Amino acid sequence: MDFSLIETMRWEPGSGFLRVEQHLRRLKRSADALGFRPPPPDTLKQLEAAIGGGDAMRVRLVMTYRGKIEITVTPFIPAPAETVWRVRVAATKLPSDDPLFRHKTSRREPYEAARAEFSPDDADEVILLNERGEICEGTITNVFVEEADGRLLTPPLMSGLLPGVLRAELIREGKARSQILRLEDLGDRRLFVGNSLRGLIPAELMDREQQSEGVCTDTVARRTAG
């Protein structure tokens, strides 16, 4: 597979693309940083042309080193409102000193390895820590922890993670702020994972006591999401 940049976004009838400007800005920043050709000037028109109307859509944009764009559109079904994702912590570590992981690319080896540690029956999402034991992100989401006043805490970029579009929006709107987080910082706080496609999803950290010590077990009863 050729090295490429990726943006995944949501289209809804009536409102169109969610956060499309932020997605395209991130695409351009990553292209500049990694030496790709810039996105074509008509990228937004290509996105709009790929939509055939109808219900909500998941839109995946892949851009090659030469600036060629491929767009894939599939139906998107939102999770039920009562959904709670079961989250586990991977043994796989995300290196905080590798700047490539601050861009959304086709290089996904740590995320794939982390996801492969658990079956879909055991986890809806898997969180990666860095080499210092700091929480980084999920395999497809950013991580958020609720403070007493309802504001959200999310790991800083210095921990080594992708600057998610939803994460950036929440910080910009004052609904979230960045702070170094470790598993022991979660306590009994409400946990969320989220991205621009899915929004914020309530989550439950499985095997909390064991995982805070770096050990993953299956002794806690499973809770099925939604």
DSSP state string for 82-122? T--EEEEEEEEE--TT-GGGGS-BS--HHHHHHHHTS-TTT
DSSP state string for 183-224? HHHHTT--EEEEETTTEEEEEEETTHHHHHTT---S-SPP--
Q: Is the pLDDT of residue 217 over 90?
A: no
> For residues 69 and 65, what is the distance between their CA atoms, to the nearest angstrom?
10
The first and second tokens of residue 165, run together, are: 């579009």
Average pLDDT of the segment spanning 196-223: 62
Q: Is the pLDDT of residue 225 over 60?
A: no
> For residues 124 and 84, what is the distance between their CA atoms, to the nearest angstrom?
9
Contact 47, 59 (CB under 8 A): yes
The first and second tokens of residue 104, run together, are: 């959304």
Give the least confident one: 52-61, 137-146, 160-169, 190-199: 52-61
Residues near 219 by beta carbon (within 8 Å), at least 6 away in sequence: 207, 210
pLDDT at 2: 81
pLDDT at 175: 97
Between strands 4-12 and 16-17, the pairing is: antiparallel
The string of pLDDT tens digits covering residues 80-130 is 989 999 999 999 999 999 999 999 999 999 999 999 999 999 999 999 999
The kind and range of the H/E element at 7 are strand 4-12
The string of pLDDT tens digits covering residues 179-188 is 999 999 988 8
- CA distances, 203 to each of 35, 76, 133, 154, 190 (Å): 37, 20, 20, 14, 8
pLDDT at 52: 81
Contact 165, 29 (CB under 8 A): no
pLDDT at 25: 97
pTM, two decimal places = 0.88
Average pLDDT of the segment spanning 132-150: 97
| Percent of the chain's residues with pLDDT above 90 | 85
The mean predicted confidence, pLDDT, of the chain is 90
pLDDT at 187: 84
Q: Is the pLDDT of residue 1 over 80?
A: no
- What is the end-to-end Cα distance of the chain in Å, rounded? 35
Q: Spell out the domains of the chain, with CATH numbers in brackets.
A: 4-75 (3.30.470.10), 85-212 (3.20.10.10)
pLDDT at 218: 36
The string of pLDDT tens digits covering residues 33-67 is 999 999 999 999 999 999 987 899 999 999 999 99
